Amino acid sequence: MSKITVPIGPQHPLLKEPLSFLVSLEGEKVTDSVLRLGYVHRGIEKLAEQRTYIQNIYLIERICGICSHIHSTTYCQSVEALLKLEVPKRGLYIRMLLCELERIHSHLLWLGVLAKNIGLNTLFMYAWRDREIVLNIMEEISGGRVSHSVNIIGGVQVNLNESHLSLLQQNLKELNKRVKEILRSIENDRSFQARTQKIGHLSLEDIKRYCVVGPVARASGLDIDIRRDAPYAAYDELNFEVPLMTEGDVWARSILRILETL
C-alpha cells in the first residue's frame, strides 16, 4: 500500500492556536505525524514589561478565555511571594472555588469539543448545555462569564453572600445529576467507544518520558495532582479523591474528566 503525506495547517480549525502537522497515511491508517509549534507569539511577556503589576493582572487573565482565572491566580501568587504578602483565608477559599468551577467548565468544554469532532453532536450539545450552569454561577459571583477580574494582589475583590451559597448548592446539585447522565450515556454508547478506545494511546512510560501532567497523565495511571501534591490557595485544607485510569487512550481521558467533574 502506497504511503501518502498530508500537510495540515498551519491554520487548523480544531485548535485555538495555529499548528502545522505532516501526517503520513497508509490507506486510512495514520502511521506517523510530525508536529511544528510556534507560529503565534502574542508578546505577552513584552506587553507585561510595559505595565504595572496591577495592570498585568488583567493582561495575564487574557492569555486564555477558558482558564482566565487560574492564569491570574498564578500571577498574583507569584507577586505575593515576591512581596511576602499573606492572603486572607477567605480570599484563598474564594480563589479556590473559582478555580474549581473553571476546572469543571473546562472539562465539559473539552468533552463537547471532542464529541463535536468525532461526529457526536448530541453529546456536544448536552456537554455545552450543562457547562452553562457553571458559567452562570461564575457570572453571578464575578460579573463575567469569561474574564472574571476576581483576583487582586493580596486577595480577591469579590465576596460571597448567602444567596451565592444557595445558588451554588442548588445549581451544582443539578449539574451533578446531569453529569452522571452523561457518564451513563457514554458508557453505553458504542459509537463513542469505537471512536475513543485504543485511540491516542500514551503509556505510563511515555507519560513520564515527556513529563505529561494533569488529566492526560492520570488517565495513563500516573497518580499526580498539583492540588494535592503541591497545594496552593486553600487546597491544603481539603481532602479529595484523585481519580485514576490506566488505559491511557482518549476513552480513559474522557471518562477521567467526567469523574473529576463529579
User: pLDDT of 171-182, one tens digit each?
Assistant: 999 999 999 999
**Mean pLDDT for the stretch of residues 249-255:** 97
Residues 35-88: tens digit of each pLDDT: 887 766 678 889 999 999 999 999 999 988 889 999 999 999 999 999 999 999
Instruction: For residue 21, name the pLDDT band (cuts at 50, 70, 90).
Output: confident
Residues 208-222: tens digit of each pLDDT: 999 999 999 999 999
pTM: 0.88
What string of H, E and C letters represents the secondary structure of the chain? CCEEEEEECCCCCCCCCCCEEEEEEECCEEEEEEEECCCCCCCHHHHHHCCCHHHHHHHHHHHCCCCHHHHHHHHHHHHHHHHCCCCCHHHHHHHHHHHHHHHHHHHHHHHHHHHHHCCCHHHHHHHHHHHHHHHHHHHHHHCCCCCCCCEECCEECCCCCHHHHHHHHHHHHHHHHHHHHHHHHHHCCHHHHHHHCCCCCCCHHHHHHCCCCHHHHHCCCCCCCHHHHCCCCCHHHCCCCCCCCCCCCHHHHHHHHHHHHC
Residues 123-177: tens digit of each pLDDT: 999 999 999 999 999 999 999 998 999 999 999 999 999 999 999 999 999 999 9
